[in-house]
Every structure is written in C-alpha cells, then in structure tokens.
Amino acid sequence: MLYHLLYPLREIFFGFNVFRYITFRTAMAATTAFLISIIAGPFVIKKLRELKVGQNIRNEKEAPGIYDMHKHKQGTPTMGGVLILLAVTVSTVLWADIFNKYVLLTLLSTIWLGIIGFTDDYIKLVNKKSRGLAGEAKLAGQLVLALIVGLILYWDPNVNHSLDLPFLKNTIFNMGIFYIPFVMLVLVGTSNAVNLTDGLDGLAIGCVIMMALAYAGFSYVSGHVQFSTYLDIAYIKNAGELTVFCAGLLGAGLGFLWFNSYPASVFMGDTGSLALGGALGIVSILINKELLLVIVGGIFVVEAVSVILQVGSFKLRKKRIFLMAPIHHHFQMKGWAEPKVIVRFWIVAAILALLSLATLKLR
C-alpha cells in the first residue's frame, strides 16, 4: 500500500524513490512484522488467558510416556497463530505491492488456511479435548483451496507449469494437466508437515524462520532479470514481490518466537501451523522451487515421513519403528531434554537452508 501511496511522490521529493526498491521494502516488512508481534504479543496472550484459550495436553492414555514431560504445558494459551497472521498481513499490505497477483494469491491462501486452523483450535477449546476439527473436514478445506490455486495457476498463460530440477541445468519437465494435482500435493503436504512439527516450544516456528529466509532469497533472484540470467534459473516477472511477503513471515516468526521459545508463553496452534506451512508451499510453487522444499524444509519432511512410517508399520506389522512419532518425540523418549531437541533441529534446519541456497550455483 505504501508503495502505491508514497512512490509516486518521488517527483516532489526524491527520497520517496526508495520505495521502488524491493530490498528496502523487504527490510521494512520484516521489521514491521517483528514489532507488531513484540508489541501486540503481551496483549494477545493476556486476552487468550482471559478467554481461557488454553492448550489441552494429550493424557497418559493418548500419549504414554510423553505426558509427564508435557503436563506442565496444560492451559498454556494457544491460538497464538492469530498474532502471526496479524503481523504477516499488516506488514505485507503496508510494504508489498498488494495488487501483485502473486502476493495477493499467497496472502489470501495463508488467511484461508489460518481460518481452517482457527476453526480446529476453537473446536478443541469448546470440547476441552486435544482433538478438534475432524481430519476429513480439515483436509477437505485444504484440498478445496489447493484445487482453486491449481486451477488459477494452470489457466494463467504467464505461469510456468514446468518442474525445475535442482542441481541440473536446463532440465525442465513440463507437467501439463498434472500440474494441478502437483500443486495440490505441495500445498496440502507443506501445510500438514508444519502442523505435525509443532509439538515442542519454538520448534516449528524456528524452522519456518529458516525456510522464510531461504525462500526470500529464492523469490528475489527469481524476480530479478540479471540475477536469474546469471544463475541460469527461470525468470518470473513480478515474483520479486514475494520477497517482501517472505520477509514479513520472517519478522512475524521472530516476534512470535520471543514468546514461544522454551518455556513457551503461548502456542501457535493449528491457526498458525497450517497457515505458515501453506504460505511456504505456495511461495515455492509460484517461483518454481517446489522440489527444493525437500531440502530447505528437510525437518518438516522427516517429521511427516516419521509419522507415515510409524502408522504404516504399526498397521502392517503391529510394531513401531520409533519410540514415538513425530520424530521429535522419539528423541525426547530417548532422554534428550526438550531444549536440546529444539536447538539441534534448528541447527539442522539452518544448514539445510544454506544448502538449498547453494543449489542456485550448483547446477
């Protein structure tokens, strides 16, 4: 919004010319989102406490062995994802070109998933149980969004429907009509992967911050003619504005981590986890960097795969592969302290983010 309001004033005062630069607006978006989170955080947490919006911890029967480690978290305010959504939305509206189709689609998709997560958290609150919205209903809401996004992008002649393969130069696979189910798979998969990872204080949001930073870099070079040509990657006109959105995500994540770090004062709930995962998923789709999710979001991939393997093994063999899934609980069961699990996962996430950025030259 400020881009459209203030940049035209450059004719009056040259200083307003700074609003044309994505780098400037990226820095401001991150700062704005962080400050909103820090300033509004205490108020939001206080309101959540007053409304008794507290986390319901799975009991000993539902989560044997892990209950004693987490029972002290019972009643901790949840649905803190509203704080993240507020910070991301305001910072994006203020500093990005809000009429940019990529920004608009990403922001609306993030809000859609946030509403699904909010509904899930609200049902948990009302029923006073750890289970909320039925899995089928939650998945249906995600699939409807993913289908709409897939159709919009498929019908857009300016959108590249090819699959970019990391590490390989000039190797592109045109997916044709299969682009739509692929978009659905990526969007739903990333949304749920972050949701599964959100089980320890600060774990999910810390990894999201690493991913947001990496995808901010990808978005910037993908939307820059000279850089994309130099790196031999697809140039996507106007995709650079997604850098501002990713920066808002980064700033909001850092601000939320201020309160969500161990021991957490607030949890994001599905309101935040579903929205954040979907946001990163759609950004990866729009800049043709979907396969890099496996690397930059490696922690989320491992978390999701650990659940799939655990469930599959138990159904087929009546045996468990891990002491408990998702895998972060496996390490807790092995005796790792919660902060150690969290920080070590952050370290791995940071290394994976750096490795993913290196793929821009390793082609």
pLDDT recorded at residue 65: 63
Give the type of residue at 289: K
Euclidean distance between CA atoms 48 and 54, whole angstroms? 8
Within 13 Å, how many C-alpha atoms sit on residue 274's CB side?
Answer: 27
Tell me: the pLDDT tens digits for 97-117? 999 999 999 999 999 999 999
Structure-token pair, residue 317: 């063999």
Name the residue range of residue 207's domain. 2-358
% of the chain with per-residue pLDDT over 70: 92
In a domain, 251, yes or no: yes
Tell me: the pLDDT tens digits for 235-245? 999 999 999 99
pLDDT at 153 over 90: yes
pLDDT recorded at residue 68: 61
The residue-averaged pLDDT of 133-137 equals: 81
In a domain, 363, yes or no: no
pLDDT recorded at residue 363: 66
* Contact criterion met (CB below 8 Å) for 331 and 70: no
The residue-averaged pLDDT of 129-150 equals: 86
Look up the pTM and report it.
0.93
In a domain, 160, yes or no: yes
DSSP-derived secondary structure letter, 163: E
- Buried residues in 294-328 as b, exposed as e (16+ CB within 10 A): ebbbbbbbbbbebbeebeeeeeeeeeeebebbbbb
In a domain, 124, yes or no: yes
Euclidean distance between CA atoms 358 and 361, whole angstroms? 6
The residue-averaged pLDDT of 177-202 equals: 94
Number of domains, the chain: 1
In a domain, 55, yes or no: yes
